[in-house]
Amino acid sequence: MTTRITWLGHAAFQIDSAGRTVLIDPFLSGNPVATVEAGSLAADAIVLTHGHEDHVGDTVEIAKRTGALVIANFEITEWLRKKGVENLHAQHIGGAHDHGFAHVKLTIAHHGSMLPDGSNGGNPCGVMLKTADGTIYHAGDSGLFGDMRLIGEEGIAVAILPIGDNYTMGPDDSLRALRLIEPRHVIPCHYNTWPLIAQDALCWAQRVRAETRAEPVVLEPGAAWELS
Ligand code: NI
Ligand code: MN
């Protein structure tokens, strides 16, 4: 089996696994680096890490059009219900559920989570997707925290980490995170969307190879990589 991971730009990913398409943080409209339009995306499920606009993004439109199941913390699923999204599954930090396409667990993340209209988006999360090909950990917009070691204890095939700095961890702390998580592979995200979070990903990748045991996978927006 193969699990295909496509970077849609910023923190948005499409994961095709076990015949299902899962979107994480589908922010396409207004995303200056997105290469696809929200209206062209198929989805069986959408997972949200937190309530910020650059993560909730096009979730309401995609969910209503496709009927995709939206998985997020309780505060965000209740907000989506008020927006007319019906196919919802609330989880919360530390809780996991087997959704068939993957076993999905929400983890802590150190960040904020206010929804686009100012509503309370609960606490921000990271997400672990346990697939038949290995576990994917998307850290959301987190800063570095020592309990990433506990996440690593579950065995991470690929970690998706923000490296943009300013709003999230930056390159230096992402290397420290890798030494705690010890994933086999790492995909950087949440950089180069705007000038404030510009980073040199190739320079970062050289440091990952030199200073950690992880293999960096640097994608361009729209590009995919296969985990098998
Ligand atoms: Ni955020
Ligand atoms: Mn963000």
Q: Where are the beta strands (DSSP E) in the chain?
A: 3-9, 12-17, 20-24, 45-47, 69-73, 88-91, 96-98, 103-108, 125-131, 134-138, 158-162, 185-189, 215-216, 224-227
pLDDT digits (tens, 9 = 90+) for 157-194: 999 999 999 999 999 999 999 999 999 999 999 999 99
CA of 32 to the centre of ligand 2 (A): 14
CA of 51 to the centre of ligand 1 (A): 7
In percent, the amount of the chain with pLDDT more than 90 equals 97
Nearest ligand to the CA of 189 is 2
Determine the topology of domain 3-208 in CATH.
Metallo-beta-lactamase; Chain A (3.60.15)
CA of 125 to the centre of ligand 2 (A): 12
Residues with CB under 5 A from ligand 1 (ion): 52, 141
Average pLDDT value for residue range 119-136: 97
All structural domains of the chain with their residue ranges: 3-208
Average pLDDT value for residue range 12-30: 97
CA of 1 to the centre of ligand 1 (A): 33
186, HSE (Cβ side, Cα atoms, 13 Å): 31
At position 154, the amino acid (one-letter code) is E
Average pLDDT value for residue range 60-85: 98
